[in-house]
Amino acid sequence: MIGCKIFKKLSMKNKVILTLSFLAGIFLLNSCLKDNVGEYWKDDLAGKMYATIAVPTLQQMALKPVAGEVPFTFLVNIATDALPTEDITVSLIIDPAAVTLYNTNFKKSYKPFPTVSLTSATLVIKAGTRNGYASGKVWGAETLNACDNYIAGISIASAKTASGNNITIAGNMKSYLLALPISNPYAADYHAIGYRIHPTAGTFTVDKTETASTVNCKTIRKTQMGDYPYILDIEILDVTMVVGGKTMNKVMLSTPDVAPENFGMYSTYTGDPATPPAAPSPDTNYYDPSTKRFVLNYYYLSGGAPRKIYEILTRL
């Protein structure tokens, strides 16, 4: 039994007991039951029932930016002091208004996830039990902006016993809220081919696989500049450029390993034409979304002399 005492100015005796079978260890710390938001139930309601989402706090499931359906489940609970003696049918709806309410209450700016559905709009909780799992799915993450924040909101619309009696819905425990962060779509393994030109030691070539990890929704990080173990951060910009008749995204390069005044990007190809890879064009520092390829040309200064790096990164 999980108790939740409601303290009021004139009385400290009001309480409601929420029983969750097979949910040992889950404590609803913020979920004192309410008929309507702002109105607590009193302790003279023994023998009645209340339909709730068992865990109404914000949950999270990360999505990869790829096509395909991703399933999820959540628990619906009938809060009562005795086991129900007849089946209870709970109706569920996709509820964007629940996302709006969450934003208002917590001063957030989530968007309702645009493609979500329930496996079934109704759930039957059998007599003699208090719980049942509902399920749904989301899809289309590959079409969304990974920098946006999304929630799938699902709410209890109604609950009835088999004999037709309505069950009260707990106003502050009626919605399942699932945050759906989308992974950075550029974080992946890349085939890196290129070189670093040292002013006195010559040219050091690179031909290997590198892993680009997530910094934020628009930025990835690799751990080498050419063959040298300096970190390189690559931010994919919304600003575009045309290369060979195709639209590319410009990129912004930076590094925590070199002072800003000693690091820079070349605006046109500055490399060694005799060393592979051949430059596709004089253009540099862009991402080709059709081939998932970065073309990078940059430098860092050491002792006042530039170390020039030219790289083409192709996603594997």
pLDDT digits (tens, 9 = 90+) for 114-142: 999 999 999 999 999 999 999 999 999 99
If one counts every other C-beta atom within 10 angstroms of the C-beta of residue 187, the result is 17
Question: Cβ(309)–Cβ(299) under 8 Å?
Answer: yes
Quote the pLDDT of residue 81. Answer: 86
Quote the pLDDT of residue 245. Answer: 96
Q: Are residues 216 and 258 in the same domain?
A: yes
Q: What is the pTM of this model?
A: 0.77
Q: Which residue, of 179, 212, 235, is where some domain finishes?
A: 179
Residue 10 sits in a domain whose CATH number is 2.60.40.1740
Sign for the CA dihedral angle at 204, 299, 315, 227 comes to positive
Range of the domain at 31: 2-179
If one counts every other C-beta atom within 10 angstroms of the C-beta of residue 192, the result is 21
Q: Are residues 7 and 130 in the same domain?
A: yes
Question: Cβ(305)–Cβ(299) under 8 Å?
Answer: no
Residue 2 has pLDDT above 80, yes or no: no
Question: Cβ(195)–Cβ(226) under 8 Å?
Answer: yes
Buried b (16+ CB within 10 A) or exposed e, 287-310: bbeeeebbbbbbbbeeeeebbbbb
Residue 195 sits in a domain whose CATH number is 2.40.128
Complete DSSP assignment for 170-223: PTTS-EEEEE--B--TT-EEEEEEEEEEETTTEEEEEEEEEEEEEEETTEEEES
Higher pLDDT pick, 59 / 11? 59
- In the DSSP assignment, the letter for residue 58 is P
Q: What average pLDDT does this structure show over 25-43?
A: 43
Report residue 33's pLDDT band, with 50, 70 and 90 as the boundaries. Answer: low
Q: Are residues 284 and 164 in the same domain?
A: no
Q: What is the mean pLDDT of the chain?
A: 87
Q: Are residues 11 and 101 in the same domain?
A: yes
Report residue 48's pLDDT band, with 50, 70 and 90 as the boundaries. Answer: confident
Quote the pLDDT of residue 49. Answer: 87
Say how far apart CA 30 and CA 20 lie, in whole Å.
15
Q: Which residue, of 123, 148, 179, is where some domain finishes?
A: 179
Mapped onto helix, strand or coil, the DSSP state of residue 261 is: helix
